[in-house]
Structures are given as C-alpha cells and as structure tokens.
C-alpha cells in the first residue's frame, strides 16, 4: 500500500473536520456556562442594588420628614406684637 498526496490530503481533511466538530462541541458548553454566569451576575447586581437602595431610601424619607417639619415650624411661628 502506497501513500500518495491525495490520501494524505484526504486524511488531513477528515482530521480537520473532526477537530472542527470537537471545537463546536466545546463552544456549545462554553456558551451555556457563560449564560449561567451572566444570570448569576444579574442576581448579584440586583442584590447589591437592593442593599444600596434601602439606606438611600431611608435617608430620603428622613430628609423629607425633616423638611416638612421645618416648613411647618417656619410657617406656624409668628411674632407677637
């Protein structure tokens, strides 16, 4: 059995096709893992937003209360003649 250039090229073509299939198979798993990672990151950022927003909301409510209280004191206070 002699090995000529056409059989070598055919073997290399088949080997390249098999390697492409393996690469695509691995890319499929990488894409699924990246999707899972992005979902986890989205959940973590939502939790961080919640942790940051709660104190800011509380400070906002306190400032609104203080401003209303100051407006009531300012408007209700008159000097006697």
pLDDT at 39: 96
Looking at the predicted structure, is the pLDDT value of residue 80 above 70? no
pLDDT at 49: 93
- The encoded tokens of residue 1 equal 């059995």
Model pLDDT for residues 5-21, shown as the tens digit of each residue: 999 999 999 999 999 99
Q: Which residue has the tokens 């408007």?
A: 75
pLDDT at 75: 73
The DSSP line for 22-75 is HHHHHHHHHHHHHHHHHHHHHHHHHHHHHHHHHHHHHHHHHHHHHHHHHHHHHH
pLDDT at 72: 87
pTM for the model stands at 0.54
Looking at the predicted structure, is the pLDDT value of residue 74 above 60? yes
């Amino acid at each position: 059995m002699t090995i000529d250039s056409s059989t070598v090229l055919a073997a290399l073509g088949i080997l390249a096709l098999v390697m492409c299939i393996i690469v695509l198979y691995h890319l499929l798993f990488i894409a699924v893992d990246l999707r899972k990672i992005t979902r986890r990151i989205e959940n973590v950022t939502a939790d961080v937003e919640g942790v940051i927003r709660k104190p800011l909301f509380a400070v906002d409510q306190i400032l609104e209360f203080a401003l209303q209280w100051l407006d009531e004191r300012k408007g209700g206070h008159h000097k006697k003649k």
